[in-house]
Amino acid sequence: MQTKQRGSQVKISDKFWRRYMDIVRDEVIPYQWEALNDRIEGAEPSHAVENFRIAAGDTEGEYHGFVFQDSDIAKWIEAVAYSLVSDPNPELEKTVDDLIALIGRAQQKDGYLNTYFTVKEPDARWTNLRDQHELYSGGHMIEAAVAYFEATGKRELLDIMVRFAEYVDSVFGGGEGKIKGYDGHQEIELALVKLAETTGEDKYLKLSKFFIDERGRHPHFFDQEAESRGDTKPFWYYGHEYSQSHLPVREQKEAVGHSVRAVYMYSAMADLAVKTGDESLAEACKTLWENVTNRQMYITAGIGSSAFGESFSFDYDLPNDTSYTETCASIGLVFWAKRMLNLDKNAKYADVMERALYNGTISGMDLDGKKFFYVNPLEVWPKACTRHDHGHVKSVRQKWFNCACCPPNLARLVASIGKYIYTRSENELFINLYMGNAAEFEFGDEKVKITQETNYPWDQNVKMIISTTNLVEFTLGLRMPGWCRKAQLTVNGEHIDVEDVLKDGYIYLKRQWKDGDTVELALSMPVERIKAHPQVRENAGKVALQRGPIVYCIEEVDNGPNLPNIFLPKSSDTEMFFDSSLLGGVTIIKAQANRTDGSNWGQQLYTFDEQKFESTTITAIPYFAWCNREPGEMLVWINETL
């Protein structure tokens, strides 16, 4: 089952996502361009564009920024490309064209492209793959090139990156004199798959597979490389787990190390498994998927519970207040999920994808697109953020980051949201996400348009209308969300029993579709009290409120301080209201709860006296929208009492 559709074939009309796309177009993209050009007052200069100017010889100066500063430029171009598809903007396109020309001038004669090494360490190319992100930055620029070509048909950046890829192919590989290595930060692997798709060149697929196959072999490439450099310092992390190179990828059963690296690699593995039919790779992907999503994932689809190394820790270790749960990691989980759907017709991947999209990814941005979280905790006590071991947790979103990976990553995700809705195989069309959009597909010679109408995620009803000139036979696979206990389905008003046609989370509707056919799905959406696996000791005795795909939280601004003192009785009814004036329009949840009454406490810290409680009404809001009003405490997992 392989994705064929392009973003260009999907037009988003969805109220929820269109608002984010507008923000990305109107706020994030312009702001980031200013940031990349060091024109934001009070912010540390990015120097990313200036680095290219220096590398191009347009100006003189020193390199500044991280070694992977180029990737900020790449992610910005990629986001712009997706945005141009839905919202043409000749002026912006001209800016990108000029930037691409600059990139072209910064490329070396042999095809090499990396401003850090070109400007700062021209003799040190490929001497420290472990730490220096050379192929990582190149990978992001390939993704940008592919996206910009698909959006505009313009080949210039694609040609630049083809030259780069050709050069990389001449340097890395199994042949005599080539480097048998790989990058410390996976990214080129999935980028090369995209390049192969777009150019039709299998060579890039093979190069991607080389990097994946080589990873984790012994003797270890990073050790050999360090020895060649005369670098005797022990690696700062526990080991090569950091970059998932501790074992050959097919032998990896548990997600370890830096979580973004991990999911980027798993994405490439899934791609390669689909493209090459490699069963062992497919198996490894499925094993790792189960480990991540059933053992190491927060309810928000945040992943990476440890700040040290921005990494996975171990099964069921999911602290709520010190989690790392980087925005980029949840974004990477979306990338991976999308690819797993090509590998395996199972809606569980789409469940996780949806969980990430409506929770742990967009929580990384405020509702105005002006401030960002790098770390997305599930419990925040602002005062505790002064603790050294909470140093990574911010209680309010920040304007921009020194290491600015998350905002542009989020921008490219949101701008390309249309790419995640559908999965195609020859005779099947799977609908993974419900959102207002119109998309076109070809079945044989027939063009079919599908229009979704819904007020998802706030409303349970989704209407899907088929437009086609002629009758066309194909199977429509509607995702039955994992969070949904009961769905009502009609086709042209005729009831269909979902259970009868449900398989692996998809409702299969195989028929000859005609123009105007209308599928109506009602996904029962009560407030659910979610419990975590008993091994997740952080959440013992607690519940999280979820409605549809939306995970809820309680905030101090609605509920007063000291949120852990709130206890939600099992018997307490929950009510929900859509509040169009709140947080851009969200459904809120209200419930009767009890709160420890501190008024009878004197100065003493401990007592044998009975605790008193007072009744209170709690208000829960969608997690993604937290911290958009008065800053304060936030809590996802709420104590429950009998």
Using CB under 8 A, list all residues that contact a copy of itself: 290, 293-295, 297, 299, 306-309, 313-314, 317, 322, 381, 383-384, 386-389, 483, 485, 528-538, 540-541, 544, 546, 562-565, 567, 596-598, 601, 603-609, 611, 639, 641-642
- Do 309 and 242 touch, CB atoms closer than 8 A? yes
DSSP structure string for 110-141: TS---HHHHHT-TT-TTS-HHHH-HHHHHHHH
Looking at the Cβ atoms of 86 and 376, the one nearer to a copy of itself is 376
Tally the C-alpha atoms within 13 A of residue 64's C-alpha that lie toward its C-beta: 15
482 phi and psi, to 5 degrees?
A: -60, -25
The single residue of 285, 328, 405, 484 carrying the catalytic annotation is: 405
Minimal distance, residue 395 CB to a copy of itself, in Å? 14
C-alpha span between 404 and 36 (Å, rounded) = 10
Query: Interhelix angle for 90-106 vs 156-171, to 10°?
Result: 30
C-alpha span between 100 and 161 (Å, rounded) = 11
Minimal distance, residue 339 CB to a copy of itself, in Å? 21
Looking at the Cβ atoms of 463 and 531, the one nearer to a copy of itself is 531
DSSP structure string for 246-296: SS-GGG--S--SBHHHHHHHHHHHHHHHHHH--HHHHHHHHHHHHHHHHHS
Looking at the Cβ atoms of 516 and 526, the one nearer to a copy of itself is 526
Q: CB burial class (10 A; 0-12, 13-18, 19+) of residue 640? A: middle
Looking at the Cβ atoms of 298 and 374, the one nearer to a copy of itself is 298
Does 405 qualify as catalytic in the annotation? Answer: yes
Which H/E stretch holds residue 209?
Answer: helix 202-214
Minimal distance, residue 265 CB to a copy of itself, in Å? 22
C-alpha span between 207 and 180 (Å, rounded) = 11
In degrees, rounded to 5, the angle at the alpha carbon of residue 378 between the alpha carbons of residues 375 and 384 is 75
Which H/E stretch holds residue 441?
Answer: strand 437-443
Minimal distance, residue 241 CB to a copy of itself, in Å? 12
Minimal distance, residue 381 CB to a copy of itself, in Å? 7
Looking at the Cβ atoms of 102 and 530, the one nearer to a copy of itself is 530
> What is the three-class DSSP state of 301?
coil
Looking at the Cβ atoms of 580 and 603, the one nearer to a copy of itself is 603
> Under 8 Å CB-to-CB from 312, ≥6 apart: which residues?
254, 255, 256, 257, 259, 262, 292, 296, 303, 304, 305, 306
Which of 305, 310, 300, 297 shows the shortest CA–CA distance to 321? 305
Minimal distance, residue 542 CB to a copy of itself, in Å? 9
Looking at the Cβ atoms of 189 and 344, the one nearer to a copy of itself is 344
The single residue of 143, 214, 310, 354 carrying the catalytic annotation is: 310
- Do 318 and 305 touch, CB atoms closer than 8 A? yes
Looking at the Cβ atoms of 201 and 597, the one nearer to a copy of itself is 597
Q: Could you give the C-alpha distances from 324 to 82, 288, 614, in angstroms and in order?
A: 28, 20, 34
Which of 315, 310, 271, 308 shows the shortest CA–CA distance to 292? 315
- Do 440 and 449 touch, CB atoms closer than 8 A? yes
C-alpha span between 551 and 428 (Å, rounded) = 31
Minimal distance, residue 299 CB to a copy of itself, in Å? 5
Minimal distance, residue 128 CB to a copy of itself, in Å? 24
Minimal distance, residue 291 CB to a copy of itself, in Å? 10
Looking at the Cβ atoms of 374 and 381, the one nearer to a copy of itself is 381
Does 403 qualify as catalytic in the annotation? Answer: no
Looking at the Cβ atoms of 115 and 320, the one nearer to a copy of itself is 320
C-alpha span between 65 and 404 (Å, rounded) = 10
| Token reading at 13 | 């009309």
Q: Could you give the C-alpha distances from 380 to 330, 555, 640, in angstroms and in order?
A: 19, 9, 19
- Do 312 and 260 touch, CB atoms closer than 8 A? no
Looking at the Cβ atoms of 127 and 562, the one nearer to a copy of itself is 562
Which of 346, 263, 285, 372 shows the shortest CA–CA distance to 627? 372
Neighbours of 74 (CB within 10 A): 29
Minimal distance, residue 617 CB to a copy of itself, in Å? 19
Neighbours of 485 (CB within 10 A): 10
Which of 416, 462, 422, 464 shows the shortest CA–CA distance to 443? 422
Q: Which residues of 27-36 are buried (b: 16+ CB within 10 A; e: fewer)?
A: bbbebbbebb
Looking at the Cβ atoms of 48 and 353, the one nearer to a copy of itself is 353
Residues annotated as catalytic are 310, 405
